[in-house]
């Protein structure tokens, strides 16, 4: 009979009182073939100015609190290596961390790129302006997270459930919360926001989303929308043909920005039956992999 599974716990501390001073060094020290939950990297409070690429499976990064444990970089999105943090392997978990890119408002700058399957984030913060969170590929779950940006700040072609998250738009004009890609109807991808809160710095400054790909799919359910959300809600990105193929839905949202009477005609006010598939962890197959 096999013995209990051993868990490798590594501590990152800038003061030198841990196993490593840099987060990347701890990731590099993790085995290449772990099982889920077997590698935990505990990060002590501090501002870690480094780029991190998690290329090992089953790595968990845990901060003390998102406000005190910050991973930050300052770089525009010019290459695959540009994001502050990149998750490239499956079965990643992030808890109580801030992922930040301080590049500013002059162009795309990714704080987090998620390109591994079965990634989950709890109580994390994602902060940049344009293209903050690249939810690129795979199935992902975000719970109790804060995501800030102005333009297309949640984008990519993954299948993700955002559960009780706070989305904050810093755009003063022409903002967009999402830009989901999905190039074909056969792709099983989309963003679902359930029980979330949408706020912003201005009134009527941001749309809920625009189609990066023609079959873009985004649903907001049971969520609060402030007056930051524009009455029309969605935009076809200057391509009317995408109106026939994009799937943009809303279900039982509330707040001044949630009113559906001004929405574009091609968006959907979902029934309970239509919304059902989007609003539980089953949407990302979470019953199989979320622990």
Is 235 a known active-site residue?
Answer: no
The two domains 1-149 and 160-284 share their CATH topology (first three levels equal): yes
CB contact set of 44 (below 8 Å; sequence gap of 6+): 11, 12, 13, 14, 15, 17, 18, 64, 69
Average confidence score pLDDT of the chain? 97
Residue 2 in this model has a pLDDT that exceeds 90: no
The yes-or-no answer on residue 188 being catalytic is no
* CA dist., res. 162 & res. 142, Å (int): 5
Whole-model pTM: value is 0.97
CATH class of domain segment(s) 160-284: mainly beta
Q: Which position among 135, 152, 163, 235 bears the catalytic label?
A: 152
Question: Quick check: helix, strand or coil at residue 231?
Answer: coil
Question: For the purposes of burial, counting CB atoms within 10 Å of the CB of 261, is it exposed (0-12), middle (13-18) or buried (19 or more)?
Answer: exposed
DSSP 272: H
Task: Give pLDDT, residue 5.
Answer: 64
What is the percent of the chain with per-residue pLDDT over 70, rounded to a whole number? 98
Which region holds residue 110: left if phi is over 0, alpha if psi is between -120 and 50, else beta?
Answer: beta
Q: Measured between alpha carbons, how far is 64 from 38 in angstroms, rounded to an integer?
A: 19
Q: Where are the domains of the chain?
A: 1-149, 160-284
Report the pLDDT value the prediction gives residue 273, as an integer from 0 to 100.
98
Identify the active-site residue in 117, 131, 235, 236: 131
Mean pLDDT calculated for residue range 273-284: 98
CATH of domain 1-149: 2.160.20.10
The yes-or-no verdict on residue 4 having pLDDT over 90 is no
> pLDDT of 51-80, one tens digit each?
999 999 999 999 999 999 999 999 999 999
Residue 220 in tokens: 């907001």
pLDDT grade for 1, boundaries at 50, 70 and 90: low
What tokens were used for 195? 């029980």
Q: Which long-range contacts (CB under 8 A, 24 or more apart) does 104-108 make?
A: 104/129, 105/129, 105/130, 105/150, 106/76, 107/76, 107/77, 108/76, 108/77
DSSP-based three-state secondary structure for 141: strand
Residue 59, judged by CB atoms within 10 A of its CB (0-12, 13-18, 19+), counts as: buried
């Amino acid at each position: 009979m096999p013995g209990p599974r051993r868990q490798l716990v590594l501590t990152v501390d800038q003061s030198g009182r841990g196993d490593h001073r840099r987060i990347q060094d701890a990731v590099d020290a993790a085995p290449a073939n772990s099982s889920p939950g077997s590698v935990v990297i505990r990060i002590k409070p501090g501002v870690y100015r480094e780029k991190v690429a998690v290329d090992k499976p089953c790595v968990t990064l845990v901060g003390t609190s998102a406000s005190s444990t910050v991973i930050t970089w300052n770089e525009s999105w010019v290459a695959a290596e540009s994001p502050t943090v990149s998750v490239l392997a499956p079965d990643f978990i992030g808890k109580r961390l801030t992922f930040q890119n301080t590049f500013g408002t002059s162009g795309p700058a990714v704080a987090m790129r998620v390109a591994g399957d079965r990634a989950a984030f709890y109580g994390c913060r994602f902060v940049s302006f344009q293209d903050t969170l690249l939810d690129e590929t795979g199935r992902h779950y975000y719970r109790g997270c804060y995501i800030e940006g102005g333009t297309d700040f949640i984008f990519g072609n993954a299948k993700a459930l955002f559960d009780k998250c706070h989305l904050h738009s810093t755009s003063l004009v022409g903002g967009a919360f999402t830009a989901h890609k999905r190039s074909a109807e056969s792709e099983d991808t989309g963003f679902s926001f359930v029980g979330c809160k949408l706020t912003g710095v201005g009134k009527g400054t941001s749309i809920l989303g625009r189609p990066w790909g023609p079959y873009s799919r985004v649903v907001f359910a049971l969520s609060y929308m402030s007056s930051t959300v524009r009455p029309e809600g969605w935009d076809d990105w200057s391509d009317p043909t995408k109106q026939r193929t994009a799937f943009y839905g809303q279900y039982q949202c509330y707040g001044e920005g949630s009113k559906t009477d001004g929405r574009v005609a091609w968006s959907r006010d979902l029934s309970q039956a239509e919304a059902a598939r989007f609003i539980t962890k089953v949407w990302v197959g979470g019953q199989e992999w979320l622990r």
